[in-house]
Structure 1
Amino acid sequence: MMADIKPYTIAVDDQRLKDLKTRLSLAKFPDELDDSGWDMGSPLADVKRLSKYWLETYDWRKAEKELNKLPHFVTDIQCDGFEPLAIHFIHVRSEVKGAIPLLFIHGWPGHFEEVLKVLRPLTEGGDGVKYPAFDVVAPSLPNFGFSEGPKKRGFALEQYAETVNKLMLKLGYNEYVTQGGDWGWGISRTLAHLFSKHCKATHLNMDSANPPEFLKNPLLAIQHALTPYNAREKHGVTRCAWFDKEGRGYNLEQCTKPQTIGYALADSPVALLGWIYEKLHDWTDSYPWTDDEVCTWISIYWFSTAGPAASSRIYYESNHNVDGRMDKMDKERMRTWSPGVKLGFSHFPMDIYVLPSTWVRTLGNVVFEKEHDGGGHFATWERPDDIVTDVREMFGKGGGAFGVVKGATGYTS
């Protein structure tokens, strides 16, 4: 390990804890219509209950102690044209020789904590024989968690991809695979286009793609035109329509005016709670969030190194990037064929986009695909067993991405 990769301990100082308690104690809540529901946003009763719990009962020090049981590190990564950033990450090396390097990439409103439930089974593997083992690297993306954020404009998907690619190279992984959803999807797709020499395969738990076109994808276009949608795909039409009509308000704000919403997120823990808790509810499949889970989730944003407002900038920058190699076509290029990088998809019915298989197969060589009967956007948190099983199947013996990383099959024999 290089000398400038240092162990990291999460240690929020007492003054910041006191400041949080003060702000929570002074919270002013809006009123609510008598027949208001989740369709209008985070309900008043829920936010009041969680705010009170956060203030009076929740123990950050206990959560901090649990998080610190994991091997945390920090190291400086510099993207071309930007200042060096101290990047926080979890890194667990498997005891299985030849484990597959796996880069776990979170999204918004998630963070590195999303890897916790899949970390142990993926790194332990199956005694080096039954199923593959992985070395897992789970960074806090720049502007998220305990990583620093840039002070210059223009830090878009290209730079996020460059950051995590340089991190993996610094750790000695010249080739690796990725797993992710949300922005983990976008960054994985960017890696596939810009760094395919190093990123050899991606497993994704979010659908995002364009429909096949006869000039670009003739066989898929014919299949799409002639094959009726199955039950999952029919449900997906309704789910996508709901999200586009009722669920994208946050996206439009963060894509266009992140500074404006930033004042509320930086000043008010209740505003931050309401802003993110809505997504924890709406984007999951009736997942039974405990108050402790929610408070830890939101606290990581509140105590983040770059501040709770910084994470929203990825939306703006990735929609206004004009100078990078991905240029104005950022999102459209992510939805084009990426040669040489094998793809796998796990479909969960309550994700924000649920698309037909013919659509996602326009992105590249899809070697794994599985439909699940439950689960939503935060798949590694809601359905960790499904993610572990799918990743093992994709990269294990007989899987479509077996042996994709030279010298790392995940098995001892």
Structure 2
Amino acid sequence: MAIPNHKLRAFEFPDGSYPQPFNVELDDSFLEMTLRKSFDIVAPDLPGFGLSPAPKQSGLGPRALARALDALMLQLGYEKYGIVTTDIGWFIGMWMVNEVKDSIIGHMTDFFIAPPTPGDRVLQAKGEASTEESAYIASYDSWFESHWAYATVHAQKPLALSQALGDSPVGLLGWYWDVNNSTSDGYEYSFEQLITDAMMLWIPGPYANCRAYLEFFKPDVMDFPPSRVPTGVSEWGWSKGPFSKIGDFAFAPMEWVKRTTNLVYFNKHDEGGHFPAICQPDLWVQDVRTFFGQLREAGA
């Protein structure tokens, strides 16, 4: 997504004790029928998104937010909880399972980046990588070579960009739509959905949310230590989108995911796009419930 927004973080608490995040744009009636029967839900806006004020000082990157969100959960009375993440919320989740691991009973995500190591690239060059690994590397490289410019601008020149976007709500919507369209696997967002999303970025002002990339994408943002927190990953294809070369970007090989996680649940969907909670809500909910159901059965 071009600009992270109010949908990125949420928590649900199974049986009133374990939070797990989900996408807050889902229809209330749908949530009532599916998730709210089993979970308490806490859905905080990240600072600078939606109705959450922008940070007043620098330094609020994913590691600091991991500790801040844990402090929030403790204030609300939840000493143990689960998390569900997507997009930039995933970076926070990956640091939560290290920085505040004693609070987390499980981490479910529908988004995972597994950068190829030098060794992986050597195997690919020798023709010894698997078909899945080769396809992922090709899409990974295509994404960062041809579709990552927006994030670079956000991270390096957030104020300059925001001065332009802040002058035109339509311009902000167009900027948001461009990457959203690239990653949505052909899903057609309604005008109402697009306008609502853009409005939730407009309320705090474009600079408030664009600047998050400056804080997030430091050189060490993905230096995640291996975690023992039970982790579930559901992957969703992008092959129906307008750019076929990034169709496998969301398909990080399972063995590569295991390098930094205690992977206990893995499900791969041929379609669904970058925000499957919107594009494939029934299947998305099924993955979330299955993962935390397994943890419950195991006595987590």
Q: What TM-score range do you get, normalising by the shorter chain? A: 0.7 to 0.9
Indicate the residue corresponding to 1:191 in structure 2.
Answer: 96
How far does residue 159 in structure 1 lie from its aligned partner after superposition?
Answer: 2.2
Q: 1:278 to 1:391 in 2, by over 3 A?
A: same
How far does residue 162 in structure 1 lie from its aligned partner after superposition?
Answer: 2.1
User: What secondary structure, in the 3-state scheme, does the structure 2 residue paired with 1:164 have?
Assistant: helix
Indicate the residue corresponding to 1:368 in structure 2.
Answer: 265
Q: Which amino acid aligns with 2:21?
A: F
Distance 1:100 1:145 in 2: 26
Indicate the residue corresponding to 2:36 in structure 1.
Answer: 123
How far does residue 404 in structure 1 lie from its aligned partner after superposition?
Answer: 7.0
2:223 aligned with 1:333: yes
Q: Which amino acid aligns with 1:136?
A: I
Indicate the residue corresponding to 2:148 in structure 1.
Answer: 248
Q: Which amino acid aligns with 1:344?
A: G
- Asked if the contact 1:118–1:384 (Cα under 8 Å) also holds between the matched residues in 2, the reply is no
- Give ranges in structure 2 of 5+ residues lacking alignment: 3-8, 239-246
Distance 2:253 2:12 in 1: 35
Q: Which amino acid aligns with 1:102?
A: P
Q: 1:298 to 1:246 in 2, by over 3 A?
A: same
Q: 1:170 to 1:246 in 2, by over 3 A?
A: same
- Asked if the contact 1:240–1:354 (Cα under 8 Å) also holds between the matched residues in 2, the reply is no
Q: 1:92 to 1:355 in 2, by over 3 A?
A: closer
2:261 aligned with 1:348: no
Distance 1:212 1:270 in 2: 40
The aligned runs of 1:393-412 (5 Å cut-off) are: 393-396=290-293, 399=294, 401-402=295-296
Indicate the residue corresponding to 1:257 in structure 2.
Answer: 157
How far does residue 318 in structure 1 lie from its aligned partner after superposition?
Answer: 2.1
Among 169, 172, 188, the alignment partner of 1:272 is 172
Distance 1:253 1:118 in 2: 36
User: What secondary structure, in the 3-state scheme, does the structure 1 residue paired with 2:252 have?
Assistant: coil
Residue identity over aligned pairs, in percent, reads 28
User: What secondary structure, in the 3-state scheme, does the structure 1 residue paired with 2:222 have?
Assistant: helix
How far does residue 234 in structure 1 lie from its aligned partner after superposition?
Answer: 5.2
Q: C-alpha deviations, 1:166-205, integer Å up to 9, x for none? A: 1211111101111111111100001011000112211111
Distance 1:273 1:364 in 2: 36
The aligned runs of 1:11-410 (5 Å cut-off) are: 98-104=15-21, 112-113=24-25, 119-120=31-32, 121-124=34-37, 133-211=38-116, 228-230=130-132, 235-303=135-203, 306-320=204-218, 329=220, 331-334=221-224, 336-338=225-227, 340-350=228-238, 352-396=249-293, 399=294, 401-402=295-296
Q: 1:148 to 1:103 in 2, by over 3 A?
A: farther
Q: Which amino acid aligns with 1:332?
A: M
Distance 1:364 1:92 in 2: 21
Q: C-alpha deviations, 1:79-112, integer Å up to 9, x for none? A: xxxxxxxxxx988877xxx345224276xxxxx4
Q: C-alpha deviations, 1:364-399, integer Å up to 9, x for none? A: 210000010101111211111121111111111xx2
Indicate the residue corresponding to 1:53 in structure 2.
Answer: none
User: What secondary structure, in the 3-state scheme, does the structure 1 residue paired with 2:43 have?
Assistant: strand
User: What secondary structure, in the 3-state scheme, does the structure 2 residue paired with 1:267 have?
Assistant: coil
- Asked if the contact 2:156–2:214 (Cα under 8 Å) also holds between the matched residues in 1, the reply is yes
**TM-score, normalisation: structure 2:** 0.82
Q: 1:100 to 1:376 in 2, by over 3 A?
A: farther
Q: C-alpha deviations, 1:239-276, integer Å up to 9, x for none? A: 32331121101111111111111112222112201110
- Asked if the contact 2:235–2:267 (Cα under 8 Å) also holds between the matched residues in 1, the reply is yes
How far does residue 295 in structure 1 lie from its aligned partner after superposition?
Answer: 1.1
Distance 2:268 2:160 in 1: 39
Distance 1:295 1:289 in 2: 10
- Give ranges in structure 1 of 5+ residues lacking alignment: 1-40, 42-88, 107-111, 125-132, 215-220, 321-327, 407-413
User: What secondary structure, in the 3-state scheme, does the structure 2 residue paired with 1:102 have?
Assistant: coil
Distance 1:190 1:117 in 2: 32
Distance 2:85 2:64 in 1: 17
- Asked if the contact 1:243–1:353 (Cα under 8 Å) also holds between the matched residues in 2, the reply is no
Distance 1:405 1:212 in 2: 35
**TM-score, normalisation: structure 1:** 0.61
Distance 1:354 1:345 in 2: 10
Distance 1:354 1:189 in 2: 18
Pairs aligned (count): 278
Which of 1 and 2 has greater Rg?
1
Distance 1:296 1:167 in 2: 27
- Asked if the contact 2:13–2:20 (Cα under 8 Å) also holds between the matched residues in 1, the reply is no
How far does residue 164 in structure 1 lie from its aligned partner after superposition?
Answer: 1.5
Q: 1:91 to 1:283 in 2, by over 3 A?
A: closer
Q: 1:118 to 1:144 in 2, by over 3 A?
A: farther
How far does residue 313 in structure 1 lie from its aligned partner after superposition?
Answer: 1.4
